[in-house]
Amino acid sequence: MVNDEVVGERILTLEGVNNFRDYGDYAVAGGGRVKRGVLWRSGQHVMASDGDLDLIAALGLTTVTDLRGDSERQLNPCRRHASFSAQVFTCEGETAALASHVDAGAGVVTEADARGAMSRLYTEMPYRPNLVTVYRRHFAALAEGDGVNLIHCFAGKDRTGVAVALTHHVLGVHPDDAMADYLLTNQAMAGRDFQGRASGDASRYAQMDEAASRALRGVSPEFLEAAFTAMHASHGSLDAYLADVLGVDAALQERIRRALVAK
């Protein structure tokens, strides 16, 4: 469980951007810690206020990886500060038919339906071709070092959650800490609605009970574990998945660690 002090240190509370937080500053295997203030994750920025943009600009972002597909970016274009100069990595095509949690909501009525749908989503998400493309760009950017990186999708919890968990694995963050960071979404999003539009969102949620809606809108250990189980089943290990699917072999992993771990 992440305590309130840690939550306050990690989460950048913004008016119009959800789940904006630092996923660095964890201890790593072999000694050292992930650098602080250089790895950020969030939801989309379509409803960012002017004050939000000022706070984001102060972070000095150099790269932004936007995991959303073409239609999501067109429906919810990110607002940018006048001084914004970061390189933005995207892909052509779709990485989800809608936002991932909305994708999973088709036909869901009960909480059990929702949890099953989310687990199935996570099982196949690491193999979506367009998502793989932009995941590869994320890791290549991290290997360059000397920058401040942000990765986001619609809500900053599913596509982003898998990417961040894999990044933590590469960096040598303990699995318990990586899972705690993943679950921090539930605290970062407490009392907040998703910001921006996802086609069909309202009508789908109206058909299900509150527990099912919460399951779709939050994260649970079983979801991330479903993704990892799929990677192990198809490739034998997370490292083999990273190398074979994302091109993150041992040499690139070492470059990423050199760039982002402080001894």
User: What secondary structure does DSSP assign to the chain, as a single string?
Assistant: ---HHHHHHHB---SS--S-EE----BBTTS-EEPSSSEEEE---TT--HHHHHHHHTTT--EEEE---HHHHHHSPPP--TT---EEE--SS-SSSS-HHHHHTTT--SHHHHHHHHHHHHHHGGG-HHHHHHHHHHHHHHHH-SS-EEEE-SSSSSHHHHHHHHHHHHHTB-HHHHHHHHHHHHHHTTT----S--TTHHHHHHTS-HHHHHHHHS--HHHHHHHHHHHHHHHSSHHHHHHHHH---HHHHHHHHHHHEE-
Selection from 119, 150, 134 nearest residue 48 by Cα: 150
Beta bridge partners of 34: 261
Backbone angles phi, psi at 135, to 5 degrees: -60, -45
Task: Report the amino acid identity of residue 117.
Answer: A
How high is the pLDDT of residue 253? Answer: 98
* Domains (range + CATH), the chain: 4-262 (3.90.190.10)
8 alpha-carbon distance from chain centroid: 19
For the record, the structure tokens of 106 come out as 């088709």
How high is the pLDDT of residue 146? Answer: 82
How high is the pLDDT of residue 83? Answer: 98
Cα separation, 78 vs 141, whole angstroms: 20
Work out the angle at residue 65's Cα, subtended by the Cα atoms of residues 2 and 167, and round it to the nearest 5 degrees. 45
pTM for this predicted structure: 0.91
pLDDT in tens, 69-86: 999 999 999 999 999 999
How high is the pLDDT of residue 193? Answer: 74
pLDDT in tens, 178-214: 999 999 999 998 877 776 655 445 455 556 678 888 8
How high is the pLDDT of residue 206? Answer: 57
How high is the pLDDT of residue 77? Answer: 96
Cα separation, 226 vs 238, whole angstroms: 13
How high is the pLDDT of residue 8? Answer: 60
Cite the active site residues. 153
Mean predicted lDDT score pLDDT of the chain: 90
Instruction: Point out the residues of the chain with pLDDT beneath 70.
Output: 1-8, 97-108, 195-208
Q: If 0-12 CB within 10 Å is exposed, 13-18 middle and 19+ buried, where does residue 8 land? A: exposed
How high is the pLDDT of residue 200? Answer: 47
How high is the pLDDT of residue 7? Answer: 53
Cα separation, 78 vs 262, whole angstroms: 32
Q: For 196, left (φ over 0), alpha (ψ -120 to 50), or beta?
A: left
